[in-house]
Amino acid sequence: MARLVCFHAHPDDESISTGGTIAKAVADGHDVALVFATRGECGEVPDGHLDGGESLGERRTLEVLASASTLGVGEVHFLDYRDSGMEGTDTNDDPRSFWQADVAAASEKLAEILRADGCDVLTIYDDHGGYGHPDHIQVHRVGARAAGLAGIERVFEATMNRDHIRRLMEAAREAGDTMGEGPDVSEEATFGSPEELITTTVDVRDWAGVKRASMRAHASQIQESDFFMQMPDEVFLDAFGWEFFIGRDPVARSRKDSLFD
């Protein structure tokens, strides 16, 4: 059995992009740990959702611990940088933010965790962070460097399959579904990655219920009225029943449907 470490930017990212892969890995007997660059302090939260005196970072910490328990993860670590907020916001310039972090220093902090955990497989994000969020881009930079420092060869970049999303959107439009425009998945888009770049597709349909439950744990960010929760089960399976990765090295690229041997 192997040790999987998933490095993410904010609480709830683990559910959306790797929740099914984590649940499947745990079910297969692998050991999984989560590392977060920030506690998601800049997320949006509905009025009245937080308790008096409670910060959003505190709430999201509790939520991710609940999510981790749902997924079967026993260890959760935080690098404790500040959430940088969305691209172009003033919080990008906060010297405490992950976006402003010294990449070498942050990489060493992560590498220390990876060495202590005896990491065999690491997930990070693709080089544009999936959709351009500064913290997600920084996860790619820091994660790739930390893997080199810790001597980890099997590194996978979590991404979104742009062509899969395009096909789902086209099918929905043909069926008369007025769900809105959705993300830009044109050839010029920076959302996700084209299918031709994706090396590894993990079928997580058997763990879709666990994945959705881990999303539900992040109630400050994912409300019951959100599209994640409102999707009929069969639509959720089509949209989130597979998780997509780009292997960074020949060994990782050879894994077509699993992060493991």
Position 17, amino acid: S
Any residues with CB less than 8 A from the CB of 52 and at least 6 apart, and which?
none
225 pLDDT tier (thresholds 50, 70, 90): confident
Structure confidence at residue 176 (pLDDT): 75
Q: Which of 23-27, 76-80, 149-153, 225-229 has the lowest mean pLDDT?
A: 225-229
Structure confidence at residue 182 (pLDDT): 59
Structure confidence at residue 190 (pLDDT): 73
- The residue-averaged pLDDT of 100-118 equals 96
Task: DSSP letter for 85, please.
Answer: -
In angstroms, the Cα distances linking 236 to 22, 166, 202, 241, 252 are 18, 15, 15, 7, 28
Q: How far apart are CA 115 and CA 92, in angstroms?
A: 30
pTM over 0.85: yes
DSSP-assigned beta bridge partners for residue 193: 161
Q: How far apart are CA 68 and CA 75, in angstroms?
A: 8
Encoded tokens for 166: 């395009």
- The residue-averaged pLDDT of 122-132 equals 96
Q: Over the stretch 154-200, which tens digit does the pLDDT of each residue have? A: 999 999 999 998 898 888 788 776 555 556 655 555 789 999 999 99
Neighbouring CB atoms inside 10 A of 129's CB total: 23
Encoded tokens for 235: 């639509």
Encoded tokens for 229: 């929760």
Any residues with CB less than 8 A from the CB of 128 and at least 6 apart, and which?
137, 140, 190
Encoded tokens for 52: 């008096």
Task: DSSP letter for 30, please.
Answer: -
Q: Over the stretch 63-107, which tens digit does the pLDDT of each residue have? A: 999 999 999 999 999 999 999 999 999 999 999 999 999 999 999
Structure confidence at residue 179 (pLDDT): 52
Mean pLDDT of the chain: 93
Structure confidence at residue 93 (pLDDT): 98
Q: Which element (helix H / strand E) includes 154?
A: strand 154-159
Residue ranges of domains in the chain, CATH in brackets? 3-162+192-253 (3.40.50.10320)
C-alpha torsion 216→259→24→224, nearest 10: 10
- The residue-averaged pLDDT of 138-150 equals 98
145 pLDDT tier (thresholds 50, 70, 90): very high
Residue 257 sits at the vertex; the CA angle it makes with 136 and 226, to the nearest 5 degrees, is 45
CB 20 within 8 A of CB 208: yes
Name the one residue in this structure whose structure tokens are 């994945």. 211
Q: How far apart are CA 162 and CA 193, in angstroms?
A: 5
251 pLDDT tier (thresholds 50, 70, 90): confident
CB 25 within 8 A of CB 261: no
Q: How far apart are CA 10 and CA 78, in angstroms?
A: 10
17 pLDDT tier (thresholds 50, 70, 90): very high
- The residue-averaged pLDDT of 113-127 equals 95
Which 3 state secondary structure label does DSSP give 39?
A: coil
Looking at the predicted structure, is the pLDDT value of residue 112 above 80? yes
Rounded to 10°, the helix 233-240/208-216 angle is 100
Structure confidence at residue 170 (pLDDT): 87
Select from 42, 140, 57 the least CA-distant residue to 93. Answer: 42
